[in-house]
């Protein structure tokens, strides 16, 4: 029986366009003999819209019927056009969001409430790994290396900028990297070499995020990325890539605007060395740490984990991407798994994850309501 799958993309996010590309790539490669996809585009203003899409040429950012989600005794559904139109009952949701509420947990919370299987990590794990500071705080407790860092809140910076700059200079030295804690795709990331530059970079970051991460700048390093997924209760790690950057840090342009073509777009267009030409020992170490991070952060579905490796082979965790650009399909293709099979694997795993969660439900009965309504003591 063909399953009905809502494929969601777009979103209220600085990475909106990147998400559109990922969503359209999924729609072009999903196995339509097994799945009937329902494209749901989340506009920049937060409206769910439906369009019939078979390929990227069918997508129009300015059109589409309004979409409403709900649940009744038969299960989770969507309706198109108006709230009381015909219900289309769904079997699962495939999330292709990047950044914003689509990747950090709120949309996952919606589908958990609707009791609809979905392909990404949970609310809990998404919220953790989409905050670069929280990720560091969690993994460091388990002995995972991260670059030395400090965290500031935007409100703090506006009150006492000079004190914060002096703290960075005294604890980290220069140069440093300034990063918005919640954004991905290298958006808003900058390097500061002096106190004057740092003041400027911190104030700029405070206008785009409420929490700012400042890291010590590691001058000589290579970046390595791999994807990790949980399929049939087994954690699998993809081939490892080495992204090729044109500047001292990997930029948004490096990731999405260079070397693009009709077949590869989004993160798939990044210039890379794949598989990375590294020793068997380093490859094994990166994969071992990736699995450990996946377990520590309570992840599921498929994620991409990014690392920095110094000249003396110290491995630092950079970040975890709970819904990676282009769904990291190129990393799994390099591992011998087609994009279509990747999509199928994630959807089928979402059914298993959902079944397990249903098994864990506890129906706890008590007389607390009876006592509240009919007893003498009306306090809870």
Q: Over the stretch 224-251, which tens digit does the pLDDT of each residue have?
A: 999 999 999 899 999 999 998 666 655 4
78 with 15, same domain: the answer is yes
Window from 13-17, 108-112, 348-352 with minimum mean pLDDT? 13-17
Q: What is the residue-averaged pLDDT of the chain?
A: 91
CATH number of the domain that residue 23 is part of:
3.40.50.20
Q: What is the pLDDT of residues 95-114, one digit of tens each?
A: 999 999 999 999 999 999 99
322 with 236, same domain: the answer is yes
Ramachandran angles phi, psi of 278, nearest 5°: -135, 165
Whether pLDDT at 374 is above 70 = yes
Gap between the Cα atoms of 136 and 232, Å rounded: 28
- Would residue 174 count as lying in a domain? yes
Q: At what angle do helices 339-359 and 16-29 cross, to 10 degrees?
A: 100
Domain-ending residue, one of 156, 185, 216: 216
Most confident region among 161-165, 244-248, 357-361, 373-377 by mean pLDDT: 161-165
202 with 237, same domain: the answer is no
Q: Which domain holds residue 313?
A: 221-337
Q: What is the pLDDT of residues 288-332, one digit of tens each?
A: 999 999 999 999 999 999 999 999 999 999 999 999 999 999 999
Q: Between β-strands 302-310 and 315-321, what pairing exists: parallel, antiparallel or unpaired? A: antiparallel
162 with 65, same domain: the answer is no
205 with 269, same domain: the answer is no
- Would residue 342 count as lying in a domain? no
Gap between the Cα atoms of 219 and 27, Å rounded: 40
257 with 285, same domain: the answer is yes
> Across residues 174-187, what is the average pLDDT?
84
pLDDT bin (cut points 50, 70, 90) of residue 360 is confident
pLDDT of residue 136: 97
In terms of pLDDT, which residue wins out, 378 or 76?
Answer: 76
CATH number of the domain that residue 333 is part of:
3.30.470.20
246 with 315, same domain: the answer is yes
- Would residue 253 count as lying in a domain? yes
- Would residue 235 count as lying in a domain? yes
Whether pLDDT at 195 is above 90 = yes
226 with 198, same domain: the answer is no
Q: What is the pLDDT of residues 202-222, one digit of tens each?
A: 999 988 889 999 999 998 899
CATH number of the domain that residue 173 is part of:
3.30.1490.20
Whether pLDDT at 185 is above 70 = no
The answer to whether the CB of 330 falls within 8 A of the CB of 266 is no
Gap between the Cα atoms of 250 and 255, Å rounded: 7
180 with 274, same domain: the answer is no
pLDDT of residue 359: 81
Gap between the Cα atoms of 284 and 182, Å rounded: 29
319 with 275, same domain: the answer is yes
Q: What is the pLDDT of residues 63-97, one digit of tens each?
A: 999 999 999 999 999 999 888 889 999 999 999 99
pLDDT of residue 252: 45
> Across residues 139-155, what is the average pLDDT?
96
pLDDT bin (cut points 50, 70, 90) of residue 153 is very high
Domain-ending residue, one of 216, 234, 266: 216
Q: How many domains does the chain have?
A: 3
The answer to whether the CB of 238 falls within 8 A of the CB of 304 is no
- Would residue 175 count as lying in a domain? yes
pLDDT of residue 247: 61
208 with 178, same domain: the answer is yes
pLDDT of residue 260: 53
Window from 250-264, 265-279, 343-357 with minimum mean pLDDT? 250-264
- Would residue 264 count as lying in a domain? yes
The answer to whether the CB of 88 falls within 8 A of the CB of 79 is yes
Q: Between β-strands 302-310 and 221-231, what pairing exists: parallel, antiparallel or unpaired? A: antiparallel
176 with 234, same domain: the answer is no
In terms of pLDDT, which residue wins out, 131 or 372?
Answer: 131
Alpha helix ranges (H) inside 94-251: 100-104, 106-114, 123-129, 132-140, 154-159, 161-171, 195-206
Query: How does 241-270 read in b/e, with b if 16+ C-beta sit within 10 Å?
Result: bbbebeeeebbbebbbeeeeeeeebbbbbb
Rounded to the nearest 5 percent, the helix, strand and coil shares of the chain are 35, 25, 40
SS3 267: helix
Ramachandran angles phi, psi of 172, nearest 5°: -115, -30
Ramachandran angles phi, psi of 217, nearest 5°: -80, 120
- Would residue 208 count as lying in a domain? yes
pLDDT bin (cut points 50, 70, 90) of residue 164 is very high
DSSP single-letter state for residue 379: -
pLDDT of residue 264: 64
Q: What is the pLDDT of residues 34-62, one digit of tens each?
A: 999 999 999 999 999 999 999 999 999 98
Domain-ending residue, one of 216, 241, 271: 216
- Would residue 366 count as lying in a domain? no
pLDDT bin (cut points 50, 70, 90) of residue 256 is very low
pLDDT bin (cut points 50, 70, 90) of residue 363 is confident
pLDDT of residue 298: 96
């Amino acid at each position: 029986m063909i399953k009905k799958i809502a494929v969601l993309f777009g979103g209220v996010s600085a990475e909106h366009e990147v998400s559109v590309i990922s969503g359209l790539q999924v729609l072009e490669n999903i196995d339509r003999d097994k799945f009937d996809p329902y494209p749901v585009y989340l506009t920049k203003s937060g409206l769910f819209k439906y369009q019939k899409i078979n390929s990227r040429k069918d997508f129009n950012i300015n059109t589409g019927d309004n979409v409403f989600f709900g649940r009744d005794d038969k299960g989770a559904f969507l309706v198109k056009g108006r709230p009381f139109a015909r219900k289309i009952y769904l079997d699962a949701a495939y999330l292709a969001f990047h950044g914003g509420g689509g990747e950090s947990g709120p949309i996952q919370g919606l589908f958990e409430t609707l009791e609809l299987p979905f392909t990404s990590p949970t609310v809990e794990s998404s919220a953790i790994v989409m905050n670069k500071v929280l990720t560091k705080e969690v993994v460091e407790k388990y002995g995972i290396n991260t670059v030395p860092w400090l965290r500031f809140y935007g409100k703090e910076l506006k009150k006492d900028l000079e004190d914060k700059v002096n703290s960075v200079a005294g604890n980290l030295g220069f140069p440093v990297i300034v990063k918005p804690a919640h954004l991905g795709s290298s958006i808003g990331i900058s390097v500061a070499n002096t106190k004057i530059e740092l003041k400027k970079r911190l104030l700029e970051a405070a206008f785009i995020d409420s929490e700012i991460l400042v890291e010590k700048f590691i001058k000589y390093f290579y970046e390595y990325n791999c994807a990790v997924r949980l399929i049939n209760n087994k954690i699998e790690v993809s081939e490892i890539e080495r992204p090729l950057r044109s500047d001292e840090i990997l930029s948004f342009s490096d990731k999405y605007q260079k070397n693009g073509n009709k077949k590869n777009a989004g993160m798939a267009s990044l210039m890379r060395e794949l598989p990375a030409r590294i020793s068997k020992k380093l490859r094994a170490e990166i994969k071992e740490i990736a699995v450990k991070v996946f377990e520590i952060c309570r992840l599921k579905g498929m994620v991409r984990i990014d690392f920095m490796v110094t000249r003396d082979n110290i491995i630092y965790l950079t970040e975890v991407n709970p819904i990676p650009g282009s769904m990291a399909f190129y990393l799994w293709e390099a591992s011998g798994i087609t994009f279509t099979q990747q999509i199928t694997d994630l959807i089928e795993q979402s059914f298993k994850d959902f079944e397990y969660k249903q098994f864990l439900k506890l129906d706890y009965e008590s007389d607390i309501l009876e006592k509240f309504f009919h007893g003498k003591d009306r306090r809870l």
